[in-house]
Every structure is written in structure tokens, then in C-alpha cells.
């Protein structure tokens, strides 16, 4: 009995419990997608390889098992590089399967010929091409295993075009069973007790929860640790919801102050990169003691010499800390001067945001828009967010109560991820948590990167709610009158500011073009009505295009995108 290359690939993915594939078919990979559907893998056809790769990577983060991105050779492969890099830098498991030119035409200038395996090495943990059909299952097992083991990341498997329809005897194939779940490593006991001692001596402690903690499903243990020790905590953007944002110990609304004055910082699956200002002064105390908990040994000691390093799985190491503190019965006093300062700053900042949110002037500002969104979207929805001001202000204004329910531009600061992430979240939610909605909040510029994926959303009937916060530009824009005046000066390419986009662009019509519902709103009342209608309709995708003041920015700050102070 014979089997084709396409069937071998599909069967091998299924054997590794892969459930989702995203991609764009064409020569030479179409048969692989057909074979995948035949073995029960869900295939979602996208409109751009970049969005397909972002979607597959989000599946890896949401489920802990990689999604697959299927692309054609040459340009198809190259368009997926953005998703590979984004997955590896975010530490999410991903498998990319790329067709490549036939082996007998190598070096001849074949159709879409490109050195894909070599190119893939820069973006992936593993970049390989099986040497024969017989080893395809072994190579795919290794790719899936490598993507999940240790620090997760992207893996690329290159499939020569002539392999796809080539056939081989089943008896000669090296079939593989599903790889074991990633092994769980724990920190050494001495490091755990040293960390506990440093924490117990702290005067101004701060726990920082990173998306590594969300990925390792450590939410129950981390909540217990926060409650047992009474520690103030700060989530990084995608770790919002590991402990609910409305927990009394959350100090996100006093972020700058918490970072600047903490004497001991516990990093739970968070890296001291640009998002956390590298752990260096003036954002931190010169002599801050850092306790680093990470799955990756190479991360330990980056930028700051740690007071203690706990290498291991975040969930397992948190449990070790819990055991240690159960023995010590230490709790940080909730009436300390540090808590009083933090609570004072939180109250101040929340009042400033509230003041901005309740402004009645039109056009609306960001804070007013997010105030109404927060009031009307379901508490348990999955939030996808991208943009500059839209993402930054949205992060502070929109709470998360559950883990892994906020997806954004991430460590790599990638624009264009929104619709791919939303599609992945909706497909996974449909299978795992039916009825849970996906709300995708986009800046108008961010939406433009993959706006055509609205057709994909409508084709698969995914009831995603997209909200475009439209300020006619990148960071800031022009109103219609200023735009008209500008055009009198001549060619827009020479006189229009580089940050400008077309004023009052009707993005909602992209949704109605494909059968979803579109709303164009300018006032709080129109916004409330559109939100209520979209949330009530659980079957239909919708897009609310919210016009805001083109000059609206965040709280009193010049050039917010340059200061990055509240990222």
C-alpha cells in the first residue's frame, strides 16, 4: 500500500495532535491542505501569508500546542517570515510548512526558487528539510517537539515540490508516536530559599507577571502567591488577567512609581527588555534586587545582575515558592508606607483617566471611547489590540479578568497582527469555549495592515467584533478641512504629513461588503447603540468605525510615541 508525501505530512501532523492549519494554497502545497482536512485538521484559508502566520502563532500561545502555517515557495515563504520572527521573539510555539522548488531544478532558476532552509534559520529554532518521504513523520515530530520544549518558538519544515505527490510504500515509512508533553523543570532548593529570604526582607516589593507565566498556565499558583504574601503585582501587557486586573493588589495604575521605587522585584516569566525599561536607572533604583524566574537559562542575568535566579517552569517554580512561604508564614503588611504611596498614586491616575473619559466634547477622545467599550463588552471576552495610542490607552482602560485573553503587538511591537490573532482566537474559542466573543480593537493604521482578512472572518462566519478607533492617521491625523487645505498646496506626496491617512475613511464598508455588519459612529450615543447591537448579535461579524478627535492623544504628554513612558 502506497502513501503520498502530502498524506504523510497531514498524518504526521495529526499524530502530533495538531488541530489547526492556516495558509494560502498554491503550487506546490494545495494537496497538503486537502490531505490535512481529510485527517481532521481544520484548515483556514487566509488572504496574506503574514496574517496566516500570525494566526498560527496565536494558536500556539492560546492552546500550548503549535498551529501550522502552510505557505508556497519563494514569496509565500518570505511573507511568512514576519510571523516566524514574531512567534520566536514572543516565545510561542509555531510550525511553518513551506513548499519549495523541485529538487531536480535546484540552481537552474526554478519557479520561486529561494534558499528557504538557510533563510529560515535566522527566524526559527529549527529549519529543516526532510531528506526523503520516509523520514517526514520523524522530522515533523522533531519540529513539533522543538517548538514546545524549553523556551518555545517557531520551527520551519521545507517540503520540495516533487515530494508532495510522490508516493512511497507505507512499510518503509518511519512512523512516530506523539511526542511527550514538555518536561517540567524546577529550580534548585537553595535558590528558592534564597529568593524567599530576599523577598521576606524587602521593604518595597513588586511582583512582575510576564506572558511566560500566562503561557505556562501558572494563574492558580500565582494568585495563591499574591494572596498568601500580600505582594503588589504588575502585569506586562499580555499577562493581564493571570491575576484579574481588579484584584486589590494590582498596581498597574501606578506602574512608573512601582518600578521606580521597588527595592525587590520578582520577575515571573517576564524579561528585562524595552517593555520593562531594561531594569535600569532612572526607571529603577540603582541597587534594586531582582529575582528572576525563567524557563530559559540564557535569559538569566540579562541587563541586571540578579539577587537570585530560579530556572524552571513558571508554574512549578511558583509552587516551590508557595511551599517555602507556607513554611515561613510571612506576609507583606498591607498598611505599609509603600502600599499607602501606591494606593495614593493609583487613585490619582484613575481620577485623571476618569476625567478624560467623561469629557463631553466632540469629536470624542480615546478615553471616552474606551470608557463605553469597557461598560458594554462581555467581561470574559478575548481582547485583541493593536495600534499606537489605541493599544497603549486601551491597555490601561480595558481590564482583563482571565489569563491568555489579551493579544497585542507583543515583545516585537508588531503592527498587522490584529486580525490574524482575532481569527485564531475565534477558531479556538469556537472549539474550546463556545459563546466566548473576540473583540478586536484596532487603530486605523493598524487595521490597514491586514484589513482584507475581514473576508476570511465572514467566510468562516466568525462572530468577531472589530472596533476601529479612527483618528485619520498614525499617532495623529488631520480633520477633513485641514486635509482639503493641505491639498491646495500641491501633490499630497510632497505636502501631506507622513503620519496622515485619508480623513473619515469608511472602514466599516469593508465589513458590509462581505456580509457582516458595519457601523460608522461619531457620538457616544451612536457608539453605545452599535456596541449593544454587535454584542447582542452572536452570529454575525461586525465592524464599528469610531471617529475620534484626530489630535486626541494620551494624558498630558508631548510626542507620546517617542517617550514610550507608559508602555
Residue 90 is assigned to a structural domain of this protein: yes
pLDDT in tens, 243-260: 999 999 999 999 999 999
Which residues, at least 6 apart from 302, have a Cβ–Cβ distance to it below 8 Å? 271, 272, 273
Contact 412, 425 (CB under 8 A): no
Residues 338 and 364 reside in one and the same domain: no
Would you say residue 561 has pLDDT above 50? no
Residues 374 and 281 reside in one and the same domain: no
**Other CB atoms within 10 Å distance of the CB of residue 508:** 24
User: What is the predicted pLDDT for the residue at 567?
Assistant: 38
Please name the residue that has the C-alpha cell 497603549.
392
In the chain, the percentage of residues whose pLDDT exceeds 90 is 97
Q: Where are the beta strands (DSSP E) in 252-362?
A: 264-268, 289-294, 308-311
pLDDT in tens, 317-326: 999 999 999 9
pLDDT in tens, 74-117: 999 999 999 999 999 999 999 999 999 999 999 999 999 999 99
Would you say residue 284 has pLDDT above 60? yes
Residues 272 and 305 reside in one and the same domain: yes
Residue 349 is assigned to a structural domain of this protein: no
pLDDT in tens, 498-516: 999 999 999 999 999 999 9
Residues 373 and 472 reside in one and the same domain: yes
Residues 437 and 500 reside in one and the same domain: yes
Residue 174: which H helix or E strand, with range? Answer: none
Q: Which residues pair with 101 in a beta bridge?
A: none
Q: What value does the mean pLDDT of the chain take?
A: 96
Residues in the chain: 567
Q: Which is higher by pLDDT, 11 or 561?
A: 11
User: What is the predicted pLDDT for the residue at 226?
Assistant: 98
Instruction: Mark which of 314, 344, 374 sits at the end of a domain.
Output: 344
**Which CATH number belongs to the domain containing residue 276 in this structure?**
3.40.50.1220
Predicted TM-score of the model (pTM): 0.97
The Cα–Cα gap between 389 and 385 comes to: 11
Task: Please calculate the CA angle 296-90-212 and round it to the nearest 5 degrees.
Answer: 55
The Cα–Cα gap between 110 and 104 comes to: 9
For the ranges 320-334, 502-516, 549-563, the lowest mean pLDDT is seen at: 549-563
Would you say residue 396 has pLDDT above 60? yes
The Cα–Cα gap between 54 and 117 comes to: 20
Instruction: Region of 252 please: left (phi>0), alpha (psi -120 to 50) or beta.
Output: alpha
> What are the backbone dihedrals phi and psi of residue 441, each rounded to the nearest 5 degrees, phi first?
-105, 115
Contact 211, 238 (CB under 8 A): yes
Would you say residue 204 has pLDDT above 70? yes
Would you say residue 556 has pLDDT above 60? no
Residues 105 and 194 reside in one and the same domain: no
User: What is the predicted pLDDT for the residue at 566?
Assistant: 39
The Cα–Cα gap between 333 and 340 comes to: 11
pLDDT in tens, 417-455: 999 999 999 999 999 999 999 999 999 999 999 999 999
Instruction: Mark which of 294, 313, 344 sits at the end of a domain.
Output: 344
User: What is the predicted pLDDT for the residue at 554?
Assistant: 67
Residue 564 is assigned to a structural domain of this protein: no
pLDDT band at 553 (very low <50, low <70, confident <90, very high): confident
Contact 48, 453 (CB under 8 A): yes
Residues 414 and 505 reside in one and the same domain: yes
Range of the domain at 405: 359-547
Would you say residue 219 has pLDDT above 80? yes
DSSP 548: B
Which residues, at least 6 apart from 343, have a Cβ–Cβ distance to it below 8 Å? none
Amino acid at each position: 500500500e502506497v502513501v503520498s508525501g502530502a498524506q504523510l505530512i497531514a498524518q504526521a501532523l495529526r499524530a502530533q495532535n495538531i488541530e489547526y492549519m492556516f495558509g494560502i494554497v498554491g503550487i506546490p502545497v494545495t494537496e497538503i491542505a486537502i490531505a490535512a482536512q481529510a485527517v481532521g485538521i481544520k484548515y483556514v484559508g487566509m488572504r496574506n501569508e503574514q496574517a496566516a502566520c500570525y494566526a498560527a502563532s496565536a494558536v500556539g500561545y492560546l492552546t500550548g500546542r503549535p498551529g501550522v502555517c502552510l505557505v508556497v515557495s519563494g514569496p509565500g515563504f518570505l511573507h511568512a517570515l514576519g510571523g516566524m520572527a514574531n512567534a520566536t521573539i514572543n516565545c510561542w510555539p509555531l510550525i511553518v510548512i513551506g513548499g519549495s522548488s523541485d529538487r531536480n531544478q535546484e540552481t537552474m532558476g526554478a519557479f520561486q526558487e529561494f534558499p528557504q532552509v538557510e533563510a529560515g534559520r535566522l527566524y526559527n529554532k529549527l529549519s529543516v528539510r526532510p531528506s526523503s518521504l520516509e523520514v517526514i513523520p520523524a522530522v515533523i515530530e522533531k519540529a513539533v517537539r522543538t517548538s514546545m520544549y524549553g523556551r518555545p518558538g517557531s520551527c520551519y519544515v521545507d517540503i520540495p515540490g516533487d515530494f508532495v505527490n510522490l508516493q512511497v510504500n507505507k512499510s518503509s515509512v518511519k512512523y512516530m508516536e506523539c511526542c511527550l508533553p514538555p518536561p517540567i523543570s524546577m529550580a534548585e532548593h537553595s535558590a528558592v530559599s534564597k529568593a524567599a529570604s530576599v523577598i521576606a526582607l524587602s521593604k518595597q516589593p513588586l511582583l512582575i507577571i510576564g506572558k511566560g507565566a500566562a503561557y505556562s498556565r501558572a494563574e492558580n499558583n500565582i494568585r495563591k502567591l499574591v494572596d498568601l504574601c500580600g505582594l503588589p503585582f504588575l502585569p506586562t501587557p499580555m499577562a493581564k488577567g493571570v491575576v484579574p486586573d481588579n484584584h486589590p493588589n494590582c498596581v498597574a495604575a501606578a506602574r512608573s512609581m512601582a518600578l521606580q521605587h521597588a527595592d525587590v522585584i520578582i520577575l515571573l516569566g517576564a524579561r528585562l527588555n524595552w517593555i520593562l525599561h531594561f531594569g535600569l536607572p532612572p526607571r529603577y533604583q540603582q541597587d534594586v534586587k531582582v529575582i528572576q524566574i525563567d524557563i530559559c537559562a540564557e535569559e538569566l542575568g540579562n541587563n541586571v545582575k540578579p539577587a537570585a535566579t530560579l530556572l524552571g517552569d513558571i508554574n512549578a517554580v511558583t509552587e516551590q515558592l508557595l511551599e517555602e512561604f507556607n513554611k515561613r508564614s510571612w506576609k507583606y503588611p498591607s498598611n505599609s508606607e509603600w502600599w499607602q504611596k501606591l494606593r495614593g498614586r493609583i487613585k490619582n491616575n484613575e481620577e485623571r483617566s476618569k476625567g478624560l473619559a467623561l469629557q463631553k466634547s466632540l469629536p470624542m477622545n480615546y478615553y471616552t471611547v474606551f470608557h463605553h467599550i469597557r461598560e458594554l463588552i462581555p467581561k470574559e471576552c478575548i481582547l485583541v489590540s493593536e495600534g499606537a495610542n489605541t493599544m497603549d490607552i486601551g491597555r490601561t482602560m480595558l481590564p482583563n479578568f482571565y489569563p491568555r485573553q489579551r493579544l497585542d503587538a507583543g515583545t516585537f511591537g508588531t503592527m498587522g497582527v490584529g486580525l490574524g490573532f482575532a481569527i485564531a482566537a475565534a477558531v479556538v474559542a469556537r472549539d474550546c469555549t463556545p459563546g466566548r466573543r473576540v473583540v478586536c480593537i484596532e487603530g486605523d493604521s493598524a487595521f490597514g495592515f491586514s484589513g482584507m482578512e475581514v473576508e476570511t472572518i465572514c467566510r468562516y462566519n466568525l462572530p468577531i467584533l472589530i472596533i476601529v478607533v479612527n483618528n485619520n492617521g498614525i499617532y495623529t491625523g488631520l480633520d477633513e478641512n485641514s486635509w482639503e487645505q493641505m491639498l491646495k498646496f500641491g501633490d499630497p506626496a510632497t505636502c501631506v504629513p507622513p503620519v496622515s491617512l485619508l480623513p473619515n475613511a469608511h472602514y466599516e464598508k469593508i465589513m458590509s461588503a462581505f456580509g457582516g455588519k458595519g457601523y460608522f459612529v461619531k457620538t457616544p450615543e451612536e457608539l453605545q447603540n452599535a456596541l449593544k447591537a454587535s454584542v447582542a448579535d452572536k452570529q454575525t461579524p461586525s465592524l464599528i468605525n469610531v471617529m475620534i478627535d484626530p489630535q486626541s492623544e494620551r494624558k498630558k504628554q508631548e510626542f507620546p510615541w517617542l517617550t514610550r513612558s507608559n508602555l
